[in-house]
Amino acid sequence: MGKCSVRDDWFLKSDGHNNCNTISEWARKHSDDQVFCILCQTSISVSNKGFQALTQHAGSVKHRNAVKIKLNTKQLRLAATSTTVQSSELKEKDNSGIHLYSVCDKSVIAEVMWAFKCIVSNFSFSASDGITDLFQCTYVF
Ligand SMILES: [Zn+2]
């Protein structure tokens, strides 16, 4: 059997574990036959088992524990901003270009926006009745 190499479409697939996270949530392409798990800080060779190596890794106890902690929606995450900042400005602020965010923020913002919309448009209370069920079906928080 020939050696398997990493395919880009693998990262869009579900890992089949941990409430079915997509592979891209925890993995990055490391080389032609290796994927790096950013949660476990380890490389996974796909040369023999191909995609199955990723689903096997996702099912490991170490990885599942890391998912519970690091992919928890209450966990704050770091993100780099894509603004081009000159190096002299970077020296003044150590954290420029990097910010903390919470995925929960999006749902809080959505709730507040909806409350404002109801007030501004003078929606009746009954107009919002059952809206939670509708939003849960239409948005993923
Ligand atoms: Zn892992």
pLDDT reported for residue 114? 86
How high is the mean pLDDT of the chain? 82
Ligand 1: distance of its center to the CA of 12 in Å?
Answer: 16
H-only helix segments in 1-139: 51-58, 61-70, 87-92, 103-120, 131-138
pLDDT reported for residue 128? 80
* pTM confidence score: 0.59
Ligand 1: distance of its center to the CA of 3 in Å?
Answer: 22
Q: What is the mean pLDDT of residues 15-23?
A: 82
Ligand 1: distance of its center to the CA of 13 in Å?
Answer: 15
Tokens describing residue 26: 């925890």
Is it the case that residue 52 has pLDDT exceeding 80? yes
